[in-house]
Structure 1
Amino acid sequence: MKPSRALAALHTLLGIRQPVFLWGPPGVGKSQLVAQAAAQRGMALRDIRAVLLDPVDLRGLPRIDATGRTSWCAPTFLPGPQDEAEGVLFLDELNAAPPLVQTACYQLILDRRIGEYALPEGWCVVAAGNRESDRAVVYRLPTALANRMVHLDVEADAEDWLHWAEASDIRPEILSFLRFRPRLLHVREADEAAFASPRSWAFASRILEAAPDAALAGDLLRGTLGEGVSAELLGYLERRASLPTPEEILDTPQAARVPEDPADLCAVCDLLAGCASPENMDAVTEYAERLPAEYGVLLMRDAVRRDPRLVEGLPFARWAQRHAEALL
């Protein structure tokens, strides 16, 4: 399922304290989904990397009490009575943990306790891991453990990621490139260590934000996205530099060049939508009228998504009236 649907499923399962396992390829955003669901529900989050644990780590250390009997001191990474009333105990990379560690999780996941420790009532267990088909280092999840959880398979989705990226200050050139080439959001070549994923596209955005010179940027992007995807992105960035600037379009909307190539049209729409404001909407709508219909709609939808005030002005109202059928 796509991430937005997985997020809705998480809300349902957290509400009933049902343990859940998120499956998906590396970099698809499983950990972020768990963090987002917890934050939206006002729940604390304990992120535990199961692969780093030994079986004894979960039970804790023994001590001798005043009566001479042995009791167990639970580790501080497990929530206790002094912690928040509600939270998520997130066992990330659970199926990458050795079988003995997975066995130690059986009782914690189903019975909400391990030895003398009991998980507080308001807390829920969520686990995540990669699939064997992802060529990740994993152990087969024992059926006795797997049967204790609901399983959700998360896949990368360009529409979902772009919606997140717009709110997360991802570079506009990456947004416009992936609108044109959404299938490149998650691509892995068999023999390459670097590959395109939602996570690595965020890395690529940070690299471009640092503004390295062209040669170094190429090397860094190849080491982030892989050879093939980075070549397409670099070619797109070169062409983007030759497009009319937003300032040129806003100054002369009736004379500014309208590109013919679909990738260039996507780039121009993204550039212009990013600087649209109530003060310059007359010029924006004039230029939108000169674009092919589907790109005019793309431009206006992106502009309104970034600044909802635009729908209140007369220029948008006039444009929307003329293109009502395309907006439906």
Structure 2
Amino acid sequence: MELTLVVLIIVVGLTFDFTNGFHDAANAIATSISTRALTPRVALVMAAVMNFFGAFLGTGVAETVGSGIIGAPEDTSGLLLVLCALLGAIGWNVFTWWRGLPTSSSHALIGGLVGAALAASASVHWSGIVDKVILPMLLSPLVGVLLGYALHTAILWIFRRATPRRTVRRFRMAQTVSAAAMGLGHGLQDAQKTMGVIVLALVTAGWQDDFSVPTWVIAAVAAAMAAGTYSGGRRIITTLGRRIVHLDPPRGFAAETAAATVLYTTAFLVKAPISTTQTITAAILGAGATRRASAVRWQVARSIVTAWVLTFFGAGVPAAAIYLVLHHLTGA
């Protein structure tokens, strides 16, 4: 039973990572596609490659997710808890992808963990959730908005006497670099969350003593995310790239650069599992607002914020329900 659950968790975890890839592919490439800096095929290939290599850049966030969110019981019920958390997060990812809403796969996973843990009467590290999830969740979009606005304002001032056509052409080229940086940052941040859950299952089963991430876990998660990213996510690409605000190459470059800066800072310095979706969306809003506030389609932005708020419940409630059903059926 234990071996079966661990193998199932690994398979389902990689499935979640795949859905994370196609759900969040837009994070890295939506702006570059909408500004025509990159074609969709080239952008997807580049994002997939950068996601893969980004997964190998660190494990600090993985250790936070594995040990800092919940305390899973070290028996079969703990493994069942982890499995149900993944199922709840996958369900929410698929639903929001179908609706074209760029919600956070990271917060869906954490919501699933908390929901399943509460249903299992397992311990929840609320202080860790406040410090490593809630505060970064609130601060990263705020920093993204301000940084996106500030960067594009600086670009407008620096290139105020330049020929518009030449400036646009240069920033189309520059967006190749900023989009690659976003892809690398997305792999660095989001791949680690799945690593953390798989390691949590290994520790719960007693297969390893600490929350260090084995190389085979990193490689498997990196490959699954890259495959998911390459498969697309065009619904969300449309929402991020066109429905929030009309982007030109300078604004796209500013948004991607601002978001990538936040991703690297939180991954390496804070080791907090922030949402790449929230960060890039906020940066797009900030860069777009330099034209005028009315240029931003705030109704679309409000629907995205509503989906963010609902993410914890949208993943946590199903995870809890699945746990209660499976616990009753298996007696685990």
Q: Same fold (TM over 0.5)?
A: no
Greater Rg by CA: 1
Flag the structure with more relative contact order, 1 or 2, with Cα contacts below 8 A and sequence separation at least 6: 2
As a proportion of its length, which structure holds more strand? 1
TM-score range, shorter chain: under 0.3
TM-score, normalised on structure 2? 0.25
As a proportion of its length, which structure holds more helix? 2
TM-score, normalised on structure 1? 0.25
